[in-house]
Amino acid sequence: MLNYSQIIKNERIKQNMTQQALAKGICSTSYLSKIEKEHVIPRDHIREALLKKLNLNTHYLKMSQEEEFLRELHRAFQYAIHLNSAEHAQIVWNHFNEFNIEFSTRENFYQCNLYLQRIAIIAKQPILDLDEISAAFASVLNNLNPEQLFIFYVNSCHYCLENRLYKDAMKFMSKAEKVIQDYEPEIPEWLIGNFHFISSQLTYTIHHYSAAFSHAHLALTIFEKLNLQTPIINCYIQIGICNNRSGLFEYAKKALQTAYHLAVQLEKKELYGTILQQLGQHAALTGESKEAIQYYRESLEHTVSVEPKLAAIHNMVKEYSKLQQPTFIQYWCKKGIQLVSEHLNAPFYRTFYFQFRFYQMLHHIESLKPDVIEEAITYFEECEELILVQKYAIAFGHVFYEQQSFEDAAKLYKKANEVALTIQRRNYWQDL
């Protein structure tokens, strides 16, 4: 909304006009004083008369405010994407969601809501709110220009990725790629870079590791060209993650160390926790459990968000499990379960909850509970977390086998084999 009180006051002072001179023939000087102090909202006819005397056009003011609002929102949209912090995005969402702007064109209305949609996704706003926005845009796709259409598809891909709707995310990724093919000159380069970064995260999640590396490298090339510091660091982290998973440990460590050096050099302290976690993952994969635990502990000191904290705790539990240290397993599992219980409104934290329970069972801290095992594996399947299905089906298959519960063991081994085929995109064992 336009702040007419401030506009009138600022323009009066700019024109070196007294309150008495401006108010003459329109209203009392005391009433004008109250308007300028925002103690009263001026009546429409008085507001228009004051603006006319100051040679200000109401329509022009509205257009100027609309343009300034969109410029400010675009800057916030770009920074929120580069930073990719839920806490920051929530602050931005709260700020801009308070405004009530009547847009002069349909195009500006769409642009504003596309920006807000992406900010809401990063801020992890409630799914129902985002569903309504997405449904509204889906009904007007023919009215969007190429840049807006591209933003909508990337927003939708990011939304589906965050909510583990991986098949839908892949569909939106393909649609965004088609827009690039048809309209690349009309799409800002930094948005294309961000698309490749999101695509890298998605393809990594569904185990297409070579594609994930390729997308991360394309994103890095664009961000380095544009000298966008935080996205550059995030790309090096993503490349390190991809190389770790592919067994290219030397290249992984080099990428992660580059990310850390850049973060220190540029004082991007908000990225320390993520990088330290990935360095811990590298140490874990190369058999250095004690070094990995140290990295994970350090990452906790630089982590604010709940999910990265849970990831660090879970990673420590894994390493203590390798070292067969049940006392530390019990300590950190309790920490993790407590943290999950404090954030029950985030359903995906159940993944961590089940895993903490599993490690307690596997190390005899908690008695074996077949119903919990079945519930968890079903949940992992529904979330398409196939690696976790395979991992724990094998682990508890061994447990049941050792206990001579051969039927239960066989069911779990069968499940692990089925999932292994799916992960490798094979339909038949003969294709292995």
The pLDDT tens digits for 335-380 are: 999 999 988 766 678 899 999 999 999 999 999 999 999 999 999 9
Q: Count CA within 13 A, CB hemisphere, residue 367.
A: 2
**Where is 219: in which H helix or E strand?**
helix 209-226
Among 118-132, 148-162, 258-272, the range scoring the smallest mean pLDDT is: 118-132
Q: Name every residue whose Cβ is closer than 8 Å to that of residue 432 and which is 6 or more positions away in sequence.
A: 421, 424, 426
Provide CB contacts within 8 A for 288, sequence distance 6+. Answer: none
How confident is the model over 209-238, as a mean pLDDT? 97
User: Long-range CB contacts (< 8 A, 24+ apart) of 242-250?
Assistant: 242/200, 242/204, 242/209, 242/212, 242/213, 242/216, 243/213, 244/278, 244/281, 244/282, 244/285, 245/204, 245/209, 246/209, 246/210, 246/213, 249/282, 249/285, 249/286
What stretch of H or E contains 418?
helix 406-423
- Exposed / middle / buried, residue 337 (Cβ in 10 Å: 0-12, 13-18, 19+): middle
- Kindly report the pTM of this predicted structure: 0.78
Distances (CA, A) of 111 to 86, 118, 123, 138: 21, 11, 18, 14
Task: For residues 184-195, give the mean pLDDT.
Answer: 97
- Confidence band for 1, pLDDT divided at 50, 70 and 90: very low
What integer is the mean pLDDT of 187-205? Answer: 97
Residue 386 pLDDT > 70, yes or no? Answer: yes
CB distance 259 to 237 below 8 Å: yes
Q: What is the rounded distance in angstroms from the CA atom of residue 200 to the CA atom of residue 242? A: 9
Closest by Cα among 136, 140, 211 to 173: 211
Dihedral angle over CA of 383, 385, 391, 396, nearest 10: 0
Nearest by Cα to 356 from 346, 366, 348: 366
pLDDT range class, residue 39, cuts 50, 70, 90: confident
User: In 15-85, which residue ranges form alpha helices assigned H by DSSP?
Assistant: 19-23, 29-36, 44-53, 58-83
**Which residue from 392, 386, 387 is spatially nearest to 360, judged by alpha carbons?**
392
Give CA angle at 166 (163, 170), nearest 5°.
125
Q: Tell me what pLDDT residue 80 has.
A: 94
Distance from the first to the final alpha carbon of the chain: 63
Nearest to 129 by CA among 142, 113, 147, 141: 113
